């Protein structure tokens, strides 16, 4: 996803069961919970395509497949194709370095930054941050954060950037890195990013509605952006267009997905095949040039999600099953990638529960790393285990066999493994995927205040103009939502102090002399105070 989020939030792997239904039916149920906006889906299986709309879609009178949406980070896949095309045309190499391409224009403070290659930009292995620190307050969080960020700004940051060692690094999502890649490809070929996409991709594939700048007819078909109940703002880009500037429709994205199904039938065969080759590990899966590569039920899956200030998007391509799925949402409160799992028949194990002692359960507790940005935290809560995936709440699990546990709330299981006696790893089995993780540390100390204690924190806190923290709770878990982002859980490590999972950030609540909560301090890249409304 592309979003100048204050916090790194991962799309949930564990999601509610919606067994074996058409994508449109799953979306219809999900859209019922949206406060504003709706969901458009496109599903092509073995050459048969179906489009559908659900929820409160605007404007009226527009066919679902023709509604325009911002597609955010799905743009990165297009940037990958532009890179593969430029390599094929011998304008650059995958291992061309920033020093080679910008040495006359940028005086690098760190030679390791100059050594970054184009393939490392595309695969998020460059070591560059998610966002540059010269995008303004809190990494550019605003209603149009990328609008004023130009080439001069991008190169100014690059000149001063430093890395702990020479690249590559383990994959870590970087909007700046892929945006810089798009800018470099544009400058090398003396054309804007929009012109390159039109000439090299959308023109040859006949995708007339995939653009950076909307025409009048397209603007009239744009689904309005929402953040929950509130109207939001469309985004615009300058130097970092390659990270997330594109708008598109379900019809166009199905065409794009069909090109990935069978590249040989397109004018872009070599470039598309180029992006689908594995170039690096990416958390529990792999990455090509801008596209994530995993497996579902043993079949190769190519996918990407996206998000801007008022939109969320998801694309899935499974060539062996001749399947393309697209989901577009004009509300930040719903991540559509989770819809795809509901198209499978997921059977829940009916094995009986086995009671374990507290000592036996304690053997499984700890932190298990599935990649640089994804981990499982396993704790014991009474007579059962609680497990969270990075950025999610804890879900309870019960033993059903030798070192095997079943989730209560979802159709998923975890198989733990031992070396001699200590538990050293686990595998999550869900949605046809197997996600391995190795034990990397002990479980953290966490407190779970009762719901009546959490009531004192709930409310809205003004952080910056237009940026508000909304604090709520679900049973014994506090939820924090910053404007333009989904609500995410935070966990108490001591009184009035709640930490995020997977990102170095915390919320410290402030009280007056009477003990009433009056504000909070966000601890992330310094301290940022917010008053309670």
Clarify whether residues 390 and 471 are in a common domain. no
Q: How far apart are the C-alpha atoms of 402 and 413, rounded to whole Å? A: 12
Residue 12 maps to a domain? no
Clarify whether residues 244 and 142 are in a common domain. yes
Q: In the chain, what percentage of residues exceed pLDDT 90? A: 81
Clarify whether residues 265 and 296 are in a common domain. yes
Q: Mean pLDDT, to the nearest integer, of 426-444?
A: 92
User: What CATH number did the domain enclosing 288 receive?
Assistant: 3.40.710.10
User: What CATH number did the domain enclosing 474 receive?
Assistant: 2.40.128.50
Clarify whether residues 373 and 497 are in a common domain. no
Pairing, β 404-407 against β 366-371: unpaired
Clarify whether residues 39 and 180 are in a common domain. yes
Residue 4 maps to a domain? no
Q: Mean pLDDT, to the nearest integer, of 83-109?
A: 97
Clarify whether residues 377 and 242 are in a common domain. no
Q: Mean pLDDT, to the nearest integer, of 223-244?
A: 94
Q: Is the pTM of this model over 0.75?
A: yes
**Residue 74's pLDDT is what?**
98
Average pLDDT, the chain: 92
Confidence band for 15, pLDDT divided at 50, 70 and 90: very low
Residue 182 maps to a domain? yes
Clarify whether residues 433 and 489 are in a common domain. no
Task: Give the tokens for residue 459.
Answer: 């409310």
User: For the chain, how many structural domains are there in total?
Assistant: 3
Q: Where is the domain boundary, 343, 375, 392?
A: 343
Inform me whether the pLDDT recorded for 17 exceeds 70: no
Residue 504, judged by CB atoms within 10 A of its CB (0-12, 13-18, 19+), counts as exposed
Q: Where is the domain boundary, 343, 374, 403?
A: 343
User: HEC string of 274-332?
Assistant: HHCCCCEEECCEEECCCCEEEEECCEEEEEEEEECCCCEEEEEEEHHHCEEEEEEECCC
Angle ∠(19,20,21) on CA atoms, nearest 5: 105
Q: How far apart are the C-alpha atoms of 495 and 483, rounded to whole Å? A: 25
The domain of 410 spans 358-441
Confidence band for 20, pLDDT divided at 50, 70 and 90: low
Clarify whether residues 40 and 173 are in a common domain. yes
Clarify whether residues 233 and 368 are in a common domain. no
Clarify whether residues 53 and 103 are in a common domain. yes
Clarify whether residues 229 and 335 are in a common domain. yes
Residue 350 maps to a domain? no
Clarify whether residues 271 and 199 are in a common domain. yes
pLDDT, tens only, 341-388: 888 876 777 889 999 999 999 999 999 998 878 899 999 998 899 999
Task: Give the tokens for residue 424.
Answer: 């050293």
Q: Where is the domain boundary, 393, 420, 441?
A: 441
pLDDT, tens only, 443-463: 999 999 999 999 999 999 998
Residue 516 maps to a domain? yes
Inform me whether the pLDDT recorded for 16 exceeds 50: no
């Amino acid at each position: 996803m592309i979003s100048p989020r204050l916090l790194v939030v991962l799309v949930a792997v564990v999601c509610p069961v919606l067994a074996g239904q058409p994508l449109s039916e799953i979306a219809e149920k999900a859209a019922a919970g949206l406060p504003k906006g709706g969901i458009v889906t496109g599903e092509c299986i073995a050459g048969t395509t179906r489009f559908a709309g659900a929820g409160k879609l605007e404007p009226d009178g527009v066919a679902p497949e023709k509604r325009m949406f911002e597609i955010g980070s799905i743009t990165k896949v297009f940037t990958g194709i532009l890179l593969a095309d430029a390599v094929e045309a011998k304008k650059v190499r995958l291992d061309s370095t920033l020093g080679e391409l910008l040495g006359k224009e940028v005086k690098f403070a760190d030679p390791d930054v100059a050594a970054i290659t184009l393939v490392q930009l595309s695969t998020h292995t460059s070591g560059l941050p998610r966002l540059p620190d010269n995008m303004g307050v809190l990494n550019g969080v605003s209603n149009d954060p990328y609008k004023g960020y130009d080439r001069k700004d991008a190169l100014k940051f690059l000149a001063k950037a430093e890395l702990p060692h020479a690249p590559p690094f383990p994959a870590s999502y970087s909007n700046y890195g892929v945006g810089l890649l798009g800018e470099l490809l544009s400058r090398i070929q003396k054309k804007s990013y929009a012109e390159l996409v039109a000439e090299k991709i959308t023109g040859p594939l006949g995708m007339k509605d995939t653009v950076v700048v909307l025409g009048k007819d397209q603007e009239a078909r744009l689904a309005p952006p929402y953040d929950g109940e509130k109207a939001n703002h469309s985004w615009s880009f300058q130097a970092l267009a390659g990270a997330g500037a594109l708008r598109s429709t379900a019809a166009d994205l199905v065409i794009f997905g069909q090109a990935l199904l069978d590249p040989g039938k397109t004018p872009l065969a070599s470039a598309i095949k180029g992006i689908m080759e594995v170039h690096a590990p990416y958390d529990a899966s792999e990455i090509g040039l801008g596209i994530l590569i995993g497996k579902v039920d043993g079949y190769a899956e190519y996918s990407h999600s996206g998000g801007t200030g008022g939109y969320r998007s998801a694309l899935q391509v499974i060539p062996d099953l001749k399947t393309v799925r697209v989901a577009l949402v004009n509300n930040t409160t719903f991540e559509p990638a989770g819809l795809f799992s509901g198209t499978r028949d997921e059977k829940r194990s009916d094995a009986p529960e086995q009671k374990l002692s507290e000592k036996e359960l304690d053997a499984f507790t700890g932190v298990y790393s599935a990649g640089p940005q994804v981990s499982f935290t396993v704790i014991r809560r009474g007579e059962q285990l609680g497990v969270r995936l990075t950025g999610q709440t804890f879900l309870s699990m019960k033993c059903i066999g030798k070192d095997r546990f079943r989730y209560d709330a979802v159709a998923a299981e975890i198989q733990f493994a031992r070396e001699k006696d200590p538990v050293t790893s686990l595998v999550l089995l869900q949605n046809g995927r197997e996600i391995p993780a190795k034990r990397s540390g002990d479980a953290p100390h966490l407190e779970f205040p009762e719901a009546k204690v959490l009531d004192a924190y709930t409310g809205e806190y003004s952080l910056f103009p237009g940026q508000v923290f909304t604090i709520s709770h679900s049973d014994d878990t506090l939820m924090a939502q910053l404007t333009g982002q989904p609500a995410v859980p935070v966990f108490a490590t001591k009184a009035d102090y709640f930490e995020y999972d997977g990102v170095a950030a915390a919320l410290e609540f402030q009280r007056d002399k009477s003990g009433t909560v009056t504000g909070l301090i966000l601890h992330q890249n310094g301290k940022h105070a917010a008053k309670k409304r």
